[in-house]
Chain A
């Protein structure tokens, strides 16, 4: 199947703390896992992605980990800032021709 489950649906963190979002996928053939950030009134924007031959990837305050055996991947945001407040979507490739998205996580960073 092409299901991607994402948790939690909402996440409130204090500025400076870390935020973690977790996703699981069902298609064992999935090999590409992007994360998108959607700010209010805008379209989703890619923030980081990981391929199945890599276990972890980091870009400044953002990191993604992938466990292919367990079919789950996670987004980690460290030292959160108010501008990190947005809806975050995980996605997984399905049969190499489309992306299946998770339901989204609304992240609120409290000042």
Chain B
């Protein structure tokens, strides 16, 4: 079974649209993350949640809104998509809050292309 899963794997959409990416982990972890990987493969954290509570918000535009219905799910909703939002978005999870040495397990990624 996949530990961290994301849907969809590919997402192609027009500028100005609103879209969501879903993430689920079956590892029983308390902390989940969203990362953005740009075209040069640079990985940067966007958000982290611990047990449904927002912990990190790395100066991401308000158009990005994470939602955690329970600790196994962390979805990412993006409003008014812009060309610069095109990237691969990775969800990840780790065991505990504020234990940065816990291994982060990454999902397979969602490639978002904004036309």
Contact = CB atoms under 8 A, between A and B. Distances in A.
Interface residues of A, number: 22
B44 interface: yes
Given A43-B107, A43-B108, A44-B90, A96 B41 contact: no
Contacts of A38: 41
Nearest to A33: B101
A46 interface: yes
Contacts of A32: 100-101
A93 B106 CA distance: 17
A22 interface: no
Nearest to A30: B100
A89 B106 CA distance: 13
Main secondary structure of the interface of A (DSSP, over half): strand
Interface in A28-77: 32, 34, 36, 38, 41-46, 49, 51
Contacts of B109: 41-43
Contacts of A96: 98, 100
B45 A99 contact: yes
Interface of A: 32, 34, 36, 38, 41-46, 49, 51, 87, 89, 93, 96-99, 101, 103-104
